[in-house]
Amino acid sequence: VKAIHDIIIGSHALDSLNQMLGTERKETCFIITDHGVAKSCLDYFLYKVAEARDAVIIEIPSGDENKNTTNLIRIWHKLLEHSNNTKPLILNLGGGMVSDIGGFAAGTFNRGVDYYNIPTTLLAMVDASIGGKTAINIENVKNKAGVFALPAGVFIDSYFLKTLNQQHYLSGLAEAFKTLIVGDEVEWKWLQSEFMPGLENLDPLIEKAAKIKQRIVSLDFFDKNVRKSLNFGHTMGHALESIYFSKNQSLTHGEAVAAGMIMELYLSHQVSGLHLDTFIKICSFLNKYFKPIEIEEADIGNMISVSKKDKKNFRGSRFLSLLQSPGKPDVNALCSEDQILEAIKFYRDLYRDDDDE
Ligand SMILES: NC(=O)c1ccc[n+]([C@@H]2O[C@H](COP(=O)([O-])OP(=O)(O)OC[C@H]3O[C@@H](n4cnc5c(N)ncnc54)[C@H](O)[C@@H]3O)[C@@H](O)[C@H]2O)c1
């Protein structure tokens, strides 16, 4: 499978989409979106993309918990009701939640119809809207049903980010950093020396992350080897997310992944030969952007058992996606339970006040 789709980035992206719809569209057009996005982004979108003004709008409630079977079925029904036996064309306008459920609907309706992603969160711009992994949750089990279905194109206009809150901004930032660190040594150097935070400077970061993700996906669409490198930071990040979730405490995906990356950098140093200097440099870089996450002594055991259930594990052994050096992932790194424990302790010690001793 040659998993390449167009990615158009910049203030002209929506003009290109408009032009494309004007010349190519013969089908019924649908916009799938959520309430929050409809409120913040739909007016601007329709102002820029006049060709979509007669689209049927399918709006679902916001939030990951709504990436569920109920809303998937609602979308399928709307597609059936309004497509009048023509081929529907779907525009997913929103964050990763919308591109996941909208992509799934598009990938399964009529056994697959064309769809385009127009991401409105930083996370979706650098990650979720690219590469054709789609999914819904089943009874709160994340991403339990899904299909691989490539979008026909992704149109990225960072103007949408003006209304995004800080929490979601940081989530996207963590994933973008991860992709640059895992994907390309030169881009890691760029991050250290040239990247400036702030909305007005995000386009180069988005472009670099989107292109790297596209390249990795094109090498391994079905996630059998190198695509797993994009899971760097996620085994320990998910373990942290799950203890916070079980205690009803809030922690964003990005904060969890950033902390997960630090723990997995420690493991990379132990297991995959990541040089001590680089290990320290990447940790300090991440520490500039993400605040320390508290891990209580009593939660360590739970984190270890969650890490045991990670999807990358095989026959009872733990395999993590680590780093040999920036741009050189180590996708099936075998780690022992003791090493995982040490990595958690390393992270806790980094942030423990001396007074706690
Ligand atoms: N398929 C993939 O490759 C992939 C990769 C990473 C994450 N994901 C999925 O992505 C989802 C998370 O995506 P997300 O972080 O984009 O969250 P999201 O889509 O849930 O959006 C977060 C919130 O921000 C609002 N919002 C979106 N754009 C906005 C804007 N421009 N201004 C103001 N509010 C806006 C939404 O209404 C929502 O309330 C998860 O379901 C995750 O599983 C998928």
pTM of the model: 0.95
What is the Å distance from ligand 1's center to 246 Cα?
Answer: 21
Residue 85's pLDDT is 80
Residue that wins the pLDDT comparison between 139 and 71: 71
- Of 165-169, 186-190, 289-293, 309-313, minimum mean pLDDT range: 309-313
Residue nearest to atom 36 of ligand 1 (CA): 36
Residue nearest to atom 44 of ligand 1 (CA): 128
> E strands of the chain, at which residues?
6-9, 29-34, 56-60, 89-94, 115-119, 136-138, 141-145, 153-156, 318-325, 328-335
Under 8 Å CB-to-CB from 173, ≥6 apart: which residues?
122, 197, 254, 289
Tens-digit pLDDT profile for residues 233-249: 999 999 999 899 888 88
CA distance linking residue 106 with residue 76, whole number of Å: 9
- The pLDDT of 222-227, averaged and rounded, is 93
CA distance linking residue 271 with residue 324, whole number of Å: 9
The owner of tokens 């992603």 is: 117
Q: What is the mean pLDDT of the chain?
A: 93
Q: Select from 92, 155, 93, 95 the least CA-distant residue to 122.
A: 95
- Of 117-121, 149-153, 198-202, minimum mean pLDDT range: 198-202
Residue 330's pLDDT is 97
Q: In ligand 1, which atom is closest to the CA atom of 98?
A: 19
What is the Å distance from ligand 1's center to 36 Cα?
Answer: 10
**Pocket test residue of 33, 34, 104, 123 for ligand 1, highest count of atoms within 8 A of CB:** 123
Residue 198's pLDDT is 87
The owner of tokens 């930083």 is: 122
Instruction: Using a pLDDT cut of 90, give the percent of the chain over it.
Output: 83
CA distance linking residue 210 with residue 298, whole number of Å: 39
**Pocket test residue of 7, 32, 64 for ligand 1, highest count of atoms within 8 A of CB:** 64
CA distance linking residue 332 with residue 323, whole number of Å: 10
Residues lining ligand 1, Cβ inside 6 A = 34, 36-37, 40-41, 62-64, 67, 94-98, 100, 120-121, 123-124, 127-128, 131, 133, 143, 160-161, 163-164, 168, 171
Segment (H or E) for 21? helix 13-24
In this structure, the chain runs to a length of 357
Q: Give the residues across from 106 on adjacent strands.
A: none
CB 232 within 8 A of CB 274: no
Helix pair 202-219, 166-183: axis angle to 10 deg: 50
Residue 357's pLDDT is 47
